[in-house]
Amino acid sequence: MLRGLYSAASGLTSQQRRHDTITNNIANIETAGYKQTTTPLRSFNDMLLSLTGVDSNQPKTIGTWTGNVFAEESLTYHLQGDVTQTNNRNDFAIISNIAVDGLAFDQSGKAVGANGEVVFQPQAYFTVQNAQGELRYTRGGQFSVNSEGYLTTSTGDYVLGTNNEPIILPAGVSIDELILTSDRRLVTSAGNDTGLQLLISRIDNPYLLVREGDGKFRLAEGTAAAIDDADAVEVRQGYIEHSNVDITQASVDLMAALRAYEANQKVVQFYDTTLQKTANEIGRIG
C-alpha cells in the first residue's frame, strides 16, 4: 500500500518542478535571447530492460524496483528565436543555422548519424567575460557602453572581440556612430575601421552549456571555436532575438502539469483515508 503512496508523492514533486519550469519560461517570454527549458520525467530508474542481459545465459542482478517518477534535470532548447527590428544601434541579434555535412536536423535541432549516434545542431553565441574574468555565452544582444567606454551586456559583462579582449570604443566615438559589417566588424558611419570585431563562438554541442541565469551560459566541457566564414551565422545590428518560448504550447503544458498534480493529490488523499480506516476501524475490530 505504501508503495503507491510513495509513487503518488513523487508524482506531486515532479509535477511541481515541471510547473515551476513552465512558469519560468512564461515569465521570460519577453526576455531577449532567452532559451526555454523543459523538465523531462523519467521512470524505472533501475533501467530494467537494459540490465536483463539478453546476450548472456547467466543471471544478472537487476536491483530494487521502483515505480516512482523522477524530474532530476532541466534541459534547454537552444533553437533560434524570432528576430525583430528595433532600429536601436545598441541591439544585436544572432541568426544561426549551422549545417553539418550529411545530417538533416529536425525542429528540435537533433539528427541521427549513419552509425546511430545522436548529433545536435551547433549554435552560435556572443562571447562575454564576467567580473571574475571567466568566459560566458549569451544570445541576449542588448548591449550598452559603460562609463569607461567598454561594450557591455545588460548585466555589466564585457563583450569580447576576436582578440579575446573586451571591446572598448575609440575615444570620442559613441556606439550610435558604429555600423556592424557583414563580417562582424565595427566601423564608423564615415567608413573608418575601428579594428573591433565581435567574437561569435560556435558551440558544437549546445547541451554542454550550463545555464547560470541572466541569459548566460558556461561551457561544462571542452572549448568553443570562433565562427568562421563557412558557418551560416549572421549578426544583425538594430535587431533583437526574442525568447524561443512557444506561449501556446507552454499554456497547454502548464494546464497538463496542474491536472497531473491534482490527480496525484487525490491518490494521496485516498491512501490517507485508507490508512486512517485501517488504523481506526480494522484495528478496533481486532
Q: Are residues 11 and 146 in the same domain?
A: no
- C-beta neighbour count of 31 within 10 angstroms: 18
Query: Looking at the domain assignment, is residue 221 inside a domain?
Result: yes
Query: Model confidence over 20-63: pLDDT tens digits?
Result: 999 999 999 988 889 998 887 766 554 444 445 544 455 555 55
Q: For residues 176 and 102, state if they share a domain.
A: yes
With H, G, I as helix, E, B as strand and everything else as coil, classify residue 153. Answer: coil
Residue 35 within any structural domain of the chain: no
Residue 184 lies in a domain: yes
Instruction: Show which of 240, 256, 272 is a domain's final residue.
Output: 240
Establish if 220 belongs to a structural domain: yes
The pLDDT score that the predictor gives to residue 47 is 44
175 in any annotated domain: yes
My answer on whether 223 and 90 are in the same domain is yes
| Domain range enclosing 183 | 82-240
251 and 236 part of one domain: no
Q: Is the pLDDT of residue 74 over 50?
A: yes
User: What mean pLDDT do residues 191-204 have?
Assistant: 90
Kindly indicate the confidence band of residue 152, based on its pLDDT and cuts at 50, 70 and 90.
very high
State which of 223, 240, 257 marks the end of a domain: 240
Residues 139 and 223 in one domain: yes
Residue given cell 514533486 in the structure block: 13
Mean pLDDT of 261-271: 84
Q: Are residues 133 and 198 in the same domain?
A: yes
Contact 228, 81 (CB under 8 A): no
> Are residues 251 and 172 located together in one domain of the fold?
no
Same domain, 104 and 66: no
Name the residue among 251, 234, 187 with its Cα closest to residue 83: 234
**192-195 contact pairs (CB < 8 A, 24+):** 194/169, 194/170
CA gap 286, 274 in Å, rounded: 17
Answer whether residue 182 is part of any domain.
yes
Same domain, 112 and 236: yes
Number of folded domains that form the chain: 2
Q: With a cut of 90, say whether residue 272 has pLDDT above it.
A: no
